[in-house]
Structure 1
Amino acid sequence: MRFLILPLVAALSLPAWASDADIVAARDAVRRNDVPALMTAMAGSQNDLLAPYPAYWQLTRDLDNASDADVRAFMARWPDSVLAERVRADWLRRVARRGDWSTFAAEIPALPDVALDDELRCQKLTLRVFQSDAAAIAEAKGGRWMIGKLQSPGCETLLGTLVSGGHASEADLWRRARVLMTADRLSAARDLTAGLATPLTQEQQKAAASANPSTPAGAALRLYAVTRLVNSNLDAAETAMNQIDGRVPAAEASEVWAMIGLRAARRQDTQLALRAFSRTSRSSLDDNQWQWWARSALRAGDWQTLEKVIDAMPDKLAQKGDWRYWKGRALMAQGKPGANGEFVKASNDGNGFYALLAREELGNSMSAPPEKWQPGRKDLAKVDASPSVQRALALFQISQVYSRPEFRSDAQREWRFAMRDQDDAFLLASAERASKAGFYEMAIYSADRTDDRHDWEMRYMSPYRDSTRRYARMLDLDEAWIYGLIRQESRFVHMARSGVGAQGLMQVMPATARWIAGKMGVKDYSIMDVDTNIQFGTWYLNYVSQSLGHPVLATAGYNAGPGRARAWRAAVPLEGAIYTETIPFDETRDYVKKVMANAVHYAAVFKHTPLTLKARLGTIPASVAPIDGPASAAPDGR
């Protein structure tokens, strides 16, 4: 069926569509471990645009036993391709695992940072540790050393190299032993200290709360005893820390205070969080802890502390638009000068949640989208000539014709590779090609990345509008809000399925769909049908909106469940932006920001009556105040 995309790449001479079946057959043969069938399928597609794929599947089905020569031959045959990059990454992980550091050192520079996963980053760091790079040793001891959970093989090798290379002092070993015990890796902690004069024992671990904190082992054990309380009884953890603070190493005490602060902040116990964070040394805080300290001050309405925390943050955090905006708000709340300067800087940080809020503080609300830039014939021809774009569209077509979502994932990967380091003209021309093919998520991906030239109607596209508009009018829902939510939920992939089972454009859970169908009196339905999914999703959004009485609460409830959205309210009314920023779930916090900002942009594209983001966010009623709406009996999620 490859002829279906020919209008998009008319200048190209593509192979016959029959080879699509060979590509699908090759993948199926790999799954069955049917080597003869794989070879037959490969022979049928050897001159095809997608020929690298069967060759890639054949090579990687047993990469552990592939020769370095075979790997290099593949990369040489298809250079500058996403598959060559993936092969190099997979191969180099194995090269490092087998201890061939000379080959790793020679080949790793060819892999760009964007292609590095967590394990490869650890392996690069290990190479530098072997070379006695002081900065690498410090980086590893400051980061990976303090992660207690079992990490990838490459990262575990890094930690072992620090020990075997003599780069970890006795104090370092006890510090890591505490982290391992906190992660319930008790035997790993004992193994780590086995070579010390007084190694850790199982009996000591059981009696951790009564250990003598004056020794390195005792300090680690007493602090471990505190960390065991953090998840179950924060008040008891604070009391226990007060009893030993000053009797254990200050740096380690600070790390535990930071744990208490983070846990309290996520539980929205702002006063305990602020007390705990105030006991920390600044060098012991990671980025997440810094931000939760700021969020705790924000939720408590403590503008002075918020300003101080932002000022003390590492520059990479303090310079983000989020904290530029809140620094401006903190200055404004205290009647200090400089707020507008912070808002100006935040307003220049993209077109998202805080950029919009900052512009509104400066009097520049979003009333009309930027002028549309239209790619020309030369721009489109350049895109059509890109092998990665060609492969992406061909793979996408296979995914559609054969209903095989794994080919869509391949297509997305090819598309992202093709968009790297491209200028605005290429990105917008690519977006046009993807949109015409129905490859909506990648059209948005490309249009979203432009710097100076824009196409807002592409970036905030509105497919399936007949259905969406109809149900929006029936339910008296804001169409821009619905589209803002769909864009974030599925990027208009109507066959989308999440890892937890949510389905379709509006990512409705099957259990929720059954509940909705019962309420609506619908007996026969398919939640993957576009119109049905929009009907059910908008019905549920309307139900949650009426139940919770506020669009921000409804947006949070749509993602995390109405019960959680209610529970995250404060004892006093909260500004909508503060409620949003202090949502404990990272995913939901990001989701609400994006959906609400999307709604502003969609309203501009639809030429609706302008409504500022600040007005959309409004004020969240106090938790003690009744919410005007029906009590939710819906499943706690979509």
Structure 2
Amino acid sequence: MKQSQRYQKIRNLSRRGFGLARYVGLWLLLSVGLVGCAGAQAPTSGTDAASIAEHEAEDPVPAKTPEDDPRLHLPSALPPQARHGVFPPSTPQALQALASAREAMQKKQWSRLASLAPQAQTDPLLGSYVQYWLLRQQLQDSTAPIPTASLQQFMKATQDDYLADRIKADWIVAAMRTGDYATINRLGPVISPSAQVDCALLMAEHMTGTVVTADQVMTAFEPVSTCWTLLGEMVDRNVVGWNNLEPLLRATLETSKTGNARRIASLMFTTDEMASYNALMKSPDKWLATQQRPTTRPQIELVTLALSRMARDDNRVAAAAYVKSVWSASMPKSNMQWVWGQFGLVAALNVDSDASGWYRRSGNVPMTDYNHAWQVRAELRQPKIDWGWVAKAIEKMTARQQAEPVWVYWHGRAMEAQGHAEAAKKHFESIAGVYGFYGQLANEELHRRIPIPREPKAVTKAELARARSNEGLQRAVRLFDLGWRSEAVPEWNFSLRGMDDRQLLAAAEYAKSEQIYDRVVNTSLKTRDEIDFRQRFIAPFEGRVAEKAKQIDLDPAWVYGLIRQESRFITNARSHVGASGL
């Protein structure tokens, strides 16, 4: 089946726009290449300084008192002249000590790290990282007191830097562990927050007399230590109840996070009910065979969860027949609709043609954004699309997800198919200025040429010089040079905060001059009005790529599109499944 027929709209595949510059053609190819990925799965977090901090083990050699710890008797993080962006050159000895210190940190060799610190600390650009690693480890050591004076000294010395914000976040999490809510309130919010910090701040507010609502708790919640503590406290205080926990439990099971789901379930069910929960998770069909018609809310929910787990049966059709014949009449309608939504989701994830049928049994029951997205995808795969059903599924999404270009476009298509031309036009016009795949499709629906932004004025020498003098960007470049991406990426991103379009373009140009091509793309993508496609769709290694592509009869633009999508030109990129290289 041709792609135009697949979505039941015959396109006039004219050659309009084919005379555009090559880099514009590359943009079009890249945008098309990304369409199938949107919303397919939650992104996995990269390895950055924050994740290293979160998973690092405690220090096996605790200090007696925080200020007597020789590891923390370090000079100021930066020499005075560095605070003004003028960094004297490092010495080979300092660089070697710095590399050895990072290795010691990664191997959790804290005594070795402390012995390397005096020499490594003399590096004028990156010396502050050594003190940060030592302080962070001290904060994570539950047997050692908080080194308050050293923390304050470090934050003063690194004021406005990424590491100052990072150590503040680590301090907040450590204070949460010790119940020092006054310190959490005093430290206040951080510039680059995380769920750990957000939940700690809410817990501190709650424990010091400020009213915290269930909505605030559920919005902040992620399955991390401070959030689990906050959630447990709010359940005990009857701030968070079944109406909050039930959708959280269902959403967690939906994405197969069974360990987290069990922890949530333990906040909802009694000991006897948890025994039933464990049994149904192990073998839902066997557990259901022992059950009578449920009467209480916990019993109804347990049966609902068991029925939803039947969707994962190898013979889904037979499982569905059992669910319908034995349990449908005994369960609330909304619960059964949610169960059928789970049958639809599992089928959709397996690209089964029956997914749409299961989803249609779900009626208008609210589901997660994740599930509603797959509901729409399942319907769009049908030989005959029910556009009214597509519209209803999109309208049940949260406002935030509805506003994503992909769903704005398909909502417009659904409106158009149902004869609501003006409503469809409004949808298409709202994303026609978006430089992406669905923005292009919207312009086609409006019978307009795909807009190409005016090329911005070239970055001036003065603008580039200012970017090069930015302390955070300088640190990031040095970190990239050393191959320390987990430190370099957050340092770079933090330094971009508050920049206007011209400053972002200059920062991207700085990255280009240093051959850090992924930062060229990611930085340039942040501009709002001045759009530079030569940065956003940079084409490094041009001669070599073109030559190899032509040898195997491939358009070089397609090769560049694949590289950009998969690795952003990071030569040592490695995926979570082990794929590596460009």
Q: Deviations over 1:510-569 (max 9, x none)?
A: xxxxxxxxxxxxxxxxxxxxxxxxxxxxxxxxxxxxxxxxxxxxxxxxxxxxxxxxxxxx
Give how far 1:249 is off: 4.7
- Maintained 8 Å contact 1:171/1:216: no
Assess, with a 3 A threshold, how the Cα gap between structure 1 residues 158 and 278 changes in structure 2: closer, same or farther: farther
Assess, with a 3 A threshold, how the Cα gap between structure 1 residues 80 and 341 changes in structure 2: closer, same or farther: same
Q: 1:123 aligns with which of 195, 200, 206?
A: 200
Which aligned pairs between 1:168-247 and structure 2 lie closer than 5 A?
A: 192=267, 200-201=274-275, 207-209=287-289, 210-232=291-313, 233-242=315-324, 243-245=326-328, 247=330
Which residue is equivalent to 1:153? 225
Return the alpha-carbon distance in structure 2 between the equivalents of residues 127 and 253 of structure 1.
40
Which residue is equivalent to 2:165? 85
Q: Name the amino acid aligned to 1:52.
A: S
Give how far 1:15 is off: 2.1
Give how far 1:93 is off: 1.7
Return the alpha-carbon distance in structure 2 between the equivalents of residues 276 and 379 of structure 1.
54
Which residue is equivalent to 1:106? 186
Which aligned pairs between 1:417-432 and structure 2 lie closer than 5 A?
A: 417-432=494-509
Which residue is equivalent to 1:636? none
Q: Name the amino acid aligned to 2:404.
A: K
- Maintained 8 Å contact 1:254/1:279: yes
Assess, with a 3 A threshold, how the Cα gap between structure 1 residues 334 and 174 changes in structure 2: closer, same or farther: closer
Assess, with a 3 A threshold, how the Cα gap between structure 1 residues 211 and 90 changes in structure 2: closer, same or farther: farther
In the alignment, does 2:55 pair up with 1:55?
no
Q: In structure 2, the residue corresponding to 1:166 is in which secondary structure?
A: coil
Which residue is equivalent to 1:70? 150
- TM-score under structure 1 normalisation? 0.67
Moved more, 234-243 or 334-343: 234-243
Q: Name the amino acid aligned to 1:466.
A: G
In the alignment, does 2:334 pair up with 1:260?
no
Q: Deviations over 1:190-247 (max 9, x none)?
A: 8556768x75545985634423312334323322321221211433454455343464
- Maintained 8 Å contact 1:193/1:199: no
Assess, with a 3 A threshold, how the Cα gap between structure 1 residues 133 and 286 changes in structure 2: closer, same or farther: farther
Give how far 1:413 is off: 1.8
Q: Name the amino acid aligned to 1:256.
A: V
Return the alpha-carbon distance in structure 2 between the equivalents of residues 170 and 325 of structure 1.
36
In the alignment, does 2:111 pair up with 1:27?
no
Which residue is equivalent to 1:95? 175
Q: Name the amino acid aligned to 1:78.
A: T
In the alignment, does 2:371 pair up with 1:289?
yes
Give how far 1:424 is off: 0.8
Return the alpha-carbon distance in structure 2 between the equivalents of residues 433 and 171 of structure 1.
51
Which residue is equivalent to 2:380? 298
- Maintained 8 Å contact 2:504/2:523: yes
Assess, with a 3 A threshold, how the Cα gap between structure 1 residues 454 and 74 changes in structure 2: closer, same or farther: same
Assess, with a 3 A threshold, how the Cα gap between structure 1 residues 439 and 76 changes in structure 2: closer, same or farther: same
In the alignment, does 2:385 pair up with 1:308?
no
- Maintained 8 Å contact 1:125/1:136: no
Which residue is equivalent to 1:552? none
Assess, with a 3 A threshold, how the Cα gap between structure 1 residues 480 and 132 changes in structure 2: closer, same or farther: farther
Assess, with a 3 A threshold, how the Cα gap between structure 1 residues 461 and 207 changes in structure 2: closer, same or farther: closer
Assess, with a 3 A threshold, how the Cα gap between structure 1 residues 156 and 211 changes in structure 2: closer, same or farther: farther
Q: Deviations over 1:469-499 (max 9, x none)?
A: 1122122212111101101111112122223
Return the alpha-carbon distance in structure 1 between the equivalents of residues 453 and 240 of structure 2.
56
In the alignment, does 2:94 pair up with 1:14?
no
Q: In structure 1, the residue corresponding to 2:183 is in which secondary structure?
A: helix
Higher relative contact order (CA 8 A, sep 6+): 2
Which residue is equivalent to 1:485? 562
Return the alpha-carbon distance in structure 2 between the equivalents of residues 422 and 313 of structure 1.
33
- Maintained 8 Å contact 2:138/2:147: no
Give how far 1:94 is off: 2.1
Assess, with a 3 A threshold, how the Cα gap between structure 1 residues 73 and 241 changes in structure 2: closer, same or farther: farther
Q: Deviations over 1:136-163 (max 9, x none)?
A: 314546896xx9xxx3222321331133
Return the alpha-carbon distance in structure 2 between the equivalents of residues 194 and 228 of structure 1.
18
RMSD: 3.4
Return the alpha-carbon distance in structure 2 between the equivalents of residues 439 and 392 of structure 1.
10
- Maintained 8 Å contact 1:273/1:293: yes
Assess, with a 3 A threshold, how the Cα gap between structure 1 residues 47 and 183 changes in structure 2: closer, same or farther: closer
Moved more, 183-192 or 19-28: 183-192
Give how far 1:425 is off: 0.8
Which residue is equivalent to 1:343? 428
Assess, with a 3 A threshold, how the Cα gap between structure 1 residues 427 and 141 changes in structure 2: closer, same or farther: closer
Give how far 1:39 is off: 3.7
In the alignment, does 2:418 pair up with 1:334?
yes
Which residue is equivalent to 1:611? none
Q: Name the amino acid aligned to 2:579.
A: A
Q: 1:354 aligns with which of 425, 430, 438?
A: 438
- Maintained 8 Å contact 2:572/2:581: yes
Give how far 1:440 is off: 1.2
Which residue is equivalent to 2:283? none
Which aligned pairs between 1:611-626 and structure 2 lie closer than 5 A?
A: none
Which residue is equivalent to 1:279? 362
- Maintained 8 Å contact 2:117/2:131: no
- Maintained 8 Å contact 2:181/2:207: no
Moved more, 422-431 or 235-244: 235-244
Q: Name the amino acid aligned to 1:351.
A: Y
Give how far 1:188 is off: 5.7
Assess, with a 3 A threshold, how the Cα gap between structure 1 residues 317 and 55 changes in structure 2: closer, same or farther: same
Return the alpha-carbon distance in structure 2 between the equivalents of residues 72 and 452 of structure 1.
40
Q: Structure 1 stretches of 5 or more lacking a match?
A: 1-10, 400-404, 506-638
- Maintained 8 Å contact 2:359/2:375: no
Q: In structure 1, the residue corresponding to 2:466 is in which secondary structure?
A: helix
- Maintained 8 Å contact 2:101/2:113: yes
Give how far 1:373 is off: 2.4
In the alignment, does 2:422 pair up with 1:320?
no
Moved more, 246-255 or 60-69: 246-255
Which aligned pairs between 1:465-480 and structure 2 lie closer than 5 A?
A: 465-480=542-557
Which aligned pairs between 1:440-479 and structure 2 lie closer than 5 A?
A: 440-479=517-556
Give how far 1:187 is off: 7.8
- Maintained 8 Å contact 2:563/2:569: yes
- Maintained 8 Å contact 1:211/1:219: no
Assess, with a 3 A threshold, how the Cα gap between structure 1 residues 254 and 108 changes in structure 2: closer, same or farther: farther
Assess, with a 3 A threshold, how the Cα gap between structure 1 residues 169 and 441 changes in structure 2: closer, same or farther: closer
Q: 1:439 aligns with which of 487, 495, 516?
A: 516
